[in-house]
Amino acid sequence: MQNIVVYGAGGHAKAVIDAIEKAGLYHIAGLLDGFKTAGTFVYGYEILGDESWLASNAESISSGIVAVGDNWSRSRIAAAIISINPAFTFITAVHPASSIAKGASIGEGTVVMAGAVINSDTRIGDHCVLYPNTSVDHDCTVGSFVTFAPKAATGGNVNIGNYSVISLGANIIHGRTIGENTVIGAGSTVLSDIGSHAIAYGTPARFVRKREPGERYL
């Protein structure tokens, strides 16, 4: 079984660890986290240090996943890891209680949690998060570093740009496009296209204000 590291030791990381353990494809050698004390433990896994730990251990471990909830933070950490070890590979973590249909594809570093559904011929990009009971219907295209919060759902043929967030219980009807770096608020219903760098919410969802690149949503 391949040894991996998980970057992160907070609540989101615990959910990612559960998906990895349930899938049974990888052995978690330890956790990396710049805000936790090295030598302490989370769920029985030792915190080894921050990403700089990889520089002196590249020969033994060169695979893992970034388990940080915020999209922009996840992207910065992934880039830092690659700058330290260009040969590092990111795994996907797919909970066995999820449903992945024929023809669907999932990018590296992406997490699919229990109860999530990815339907036929949908493409999910790199380093995305699909929380429990999310549903992405057929023939959708989802960019990289995108988050679907619990119970978020789309119809078919939906396109979602990089770094966007579909919040708790939000719904997007068939054939709509969400731009990049856009947040759809909790409980919203998207009936028309929403552009990039926006925060939109309501039923129907409407543009509320501009969202800056790198702005946190958590």
Q: From the annotation, which residues make up the binding site for substrate?
A: 69
Tokens of residue 105, six digits: 């594809």
186 SS3 class: coil
- 174 as an active site residue: the answer is no
CA distances from 80 to 20, 55, 73, 118 (A): 23, 11, 11, 29
Contacts 24+ apart (CB under 8 A), 189-196: 196/161
Output Rg (C-alpha) for the chain, integer angstroms.
17
Candidates 95, 127, 138, 197; catalytic one:
138
Residues annotated within the binding site are 69
Cα–chain-centroid distance for residue 170?
A: 17
Q: Are strands 183-184 and 165-166 parallel, antiparallel or unpaired?
A: parallel
Write the Ramachandran bin of 62: left for phi over 0, alpha for psi from -120 to 50, otherwise beta. alpha
Measured CA to CA, the distance from residue 152 to residue 212 in angstroms comes to 23
34 SS3 class: coil
CA distances from 215 to 56, 150, 181, 209 (A): 33, 21, 9, 13
Residues that are catalytic:
138
